[in-house]
Amino acid sequence: MELLRALREYFPTAVFTGRCMVFISEDWRVELTEHHDNDFTRTAVDAPIIRVKIFKKALDGEFFSGHYEDFQLPVIGELADQIEKYVQLAVGSNLREEVD
C-alpha cells in the first residue's frame, strides 16, 4: 500500500479506500490496486505491481469491468505518467483533472 499512498500525490482527484485508489465519474470507474510478487525463491525484490482496472457504466447503471493492465516501473514519476497516459487513452480524460 506504500506505493498507492505515494501515487496519491500524483492524482489529487483519487479517493484512497484503504484497499485501492478509485477515480469515478458518471460513466467510468478506474481502480488502482497494489500487488506484490510472492515468489520467495527469488533473491531480488522487484517493485510492486500496480493493476489499473477500467470499468464502464452499463445502461442499467452498474459498472462492468472492461479491461486491466499491470504496471511495474521502479521510478514513481514514470509510473504515474504511464498510468495517466493509459487511462487517458482508455477513457478519454485526464486523471489529474477528473475522469469524465
The pLDDT of 15-39, averaged and rounded, is: 89
Mean pLDDT for the chain? Answer: 86
Task: Provide the sign of the torsion angle of the four alpha carbons 87, 92, 94, 99, taken in this order.
Answer: negative
**What contacts 87, CB < 8 A, 6 or more positions away?**
23, 30, 52, 54, 93, 95, 99
Q: What is the pLDDT of residues 59-78, one digit of tens each?
A: 999 999 888 999 999 999 99
CA–CA dist 54, 7 (Å, integer): 17
pLDDT at 59: 93
- How high is the pLDDT of residue 71? 96
C-alpha cell at 4: 498507492
Q: Does pTM surpass 0.95?
A: no
Name which residue leads in pLDDT, 83 or 41. Answer: 83
